[in-house]
Amino acid sequence: MRTRRSTRLGFQPPAIGEEEIEAVAETMRSGWLTSGPRAALLEERLGPYLEAKHVLAVSSGTAALHLALVALGVGPGDEVVTSPITWPATANVIEHCGATPVFCDVRESDLTIDPDLVPALVGERTKAILPVDLAGQPADLDALLALGPPVVEDAAHALEARYRGRKVGSIADVTCFSLYATKNLAAGEGGLLATSRDDTADAVRAMRLTRRAGGGLYDQVVPGFKANLPDVLAAIALVQLDKLAVHGEIRARQFALWDEGVADLEGITPLARDPRDEHAHHLYVVRVDPGRAGATRDEYVAALEEELVATSVHFLPVHTLTWFRSRYPEQPALRVAERAGREVLSLPVSPAHADVDVLDAVDALRRVHARFTG
């Protein structure tokens, strides 16, 4: 077994090189800081990649979700069925529309929304279904699309993924991606909205930025939002797009190192990856069963920190967070999600890490496991 690290290993640092730095400098020298030719080029290049008729660059993944729901007419009195295992933004945007999030429990295997439970939650007030592709694994889209309401897919973790051979971005009514600093395509901030629906694309274009007609003139056809992606960030994303395949190979290799490293660890179980799909390898998430692993997830987090290995949690169930508990005191228990929220642990994966870094982290986890179970 390897010796303990002497420097701290970050959880998911961005893989930024001189190419990204030069792209930002070149953009600043060009005079375009806000949305301009680079944002337009990013949209143009991502359309074929995502196999979508329209790709719109926006200020964040959250903005993409919000604009998608507004474009589909989600408003006060409506309901949107969604997953509780996600970052709060997924549910927040439903609230921002004046609608109500209806949380559905998740599957034990991969913690994506359970398609067998969704039909019972779809009713006359259901305006959309908002599944979450967790850690790089697409949700069961076919089953959800068959139910009728529009599907807005939160694919913040799944830019490279394919579902049953089809590209994520080409399947749901609207698919939303994130360009946040930790994402596989990292610009620091930003988001993307992919759709083949002309009406939705037109509505989002009208809302994300007031249109200028030249000569200082402008017009507004809807009360929109300030949700455009600046060229400075688009420039970073364009360089990252050129590296996406190479970074994907690194991530897949690191996943394989983790798979081998945890295979014989009692009570440490990775989330399932459906062999029919192409996983995006965004997060390596395991579940820590305290009865078999000898300690709780939080005790593992603390022990790994002592080993100078950073970790994270994806995710705490949204419906258990303070604001949602207060707003929806009658929320039924979601037992799979709530148990998972106590067990999930995300381990370091990043193209910025060398294989030796991941092997250090694997050995640290094995030492911690031996100590807790010995």
Question: Looking at the chain, how many residues does it have?
Answer: 374
Contact 305, 373 (CB under 8 A): no
Mean confidence (pLDDT) of the chain: 96
Split at pLDDT 50, 70, 90, the class of 95 is very high
Contact 131, 113 (CB under 8 A): yes
Instruction: Kindly report the CATH number that applies to the domain delimited by 18-238.
Output: 3.40.640.10
Over residues 79-88, the mean pLDDT reads 98
Contact 99, 127 (CB under 8 A): yes
Cα–Cα distance for residue pair 91/317, rounded to 1 Å: 11
Over residues 62-87, the mean pLDDT reads 98
Q: Using only the alpha carbons of the chain, give its radius of gyration.
A: 21
Split at pLDDT 50, 70, 90, the class of 214 is low
Cα–Cα distance for residue pair 151/155, rounded to 1 Å: 12
User: Annotated catalytic residue: which of 127, 167, 183, 243?
Assistant: 183
The pLDDT of residue 217 is 84
Hey, what are 55's tokens? 């790709």
54 phi and psi, to 5 degrees?
-130, 130
The pLDDT of residue 155 is 98
Over residues 268-293, the mean pLDDT reads 98
Residue 216 pLDDT > 80: no
Q: With respect to CATH, is domain 244-373 assigned 3.90.79.10?
A: no
Q: Is 226 a catalytic residue?
A: no
The pLDDT of residue 218 is 82
Over residues 361-373, the mean pLDDT reads 98
Strands 79-82 and 100-103: parallel
The pLDDT of residue 256 is 98
The pLDDT of residue 5 is 87
H-helix segments, 316-354: 322-327, 335-343
The pLDDT of residue 1 is 65
Weakest mean pLDDT among 197-211, 238-252, 260-274: 197-211
The pLDDT of residue 33 is 86
Hey, what are 172's tokens? 């749901």
DSSP 183: S
Over residues 39-54, the mean pLDDT reads 98
The pLDDT of residue 158 is 98
The pLDDT of residue 212 is 64
Residue 213 pLDDT > 70: no
Closest by CA position to 251, among listed 171, 162, 156, 182:
182
Closest by CA position to 367, among listed 255, 297, 253, 265:
265
Tell whether the torsion through CA atoms of 354, 358, 363 and 364 is positive or negative: positive
Residue 183 pLDDT > 80: yes
374 Cβ contact list (under 8 Å, min separation 6): 294
The pLDDT of residue 136 is 98
Residue 221 pLDDT > 70: yes
Range(s) within the chain of domains with CATH label 3.90.1150.10: 244-373
349 Cβ contact list (under 8 Å, min separation 6): 12, 251, 254, 255, 258, 281, 282, 283, 284, 358
Hey, what are 63's tokens? 């903005």
Range(s) within the chain of domains with CATH label 3.40.640.10: 18-238
Closest by CA position to 91, among listed 317, 318, 313:
318
Cα–Cα distance for residue pair 338/318, rounded to 1 Å: 10
Is residue 77 classed exposed, middle or buried when 0-12, 13-18 and 19+ CB atoms within 10 A define those classes?
Answer: exposed
Does residue 221 or residue 151 have the better pLDDT? 151
Residue 219 pLDDT > 90: no
Residue 310 pLDDT > 70: yes
Split at pLDDT 50, 70, 90, the class of 259 is very high
306 phi and psi, to 5 degrees?
-65, -30
DSSP 35: S
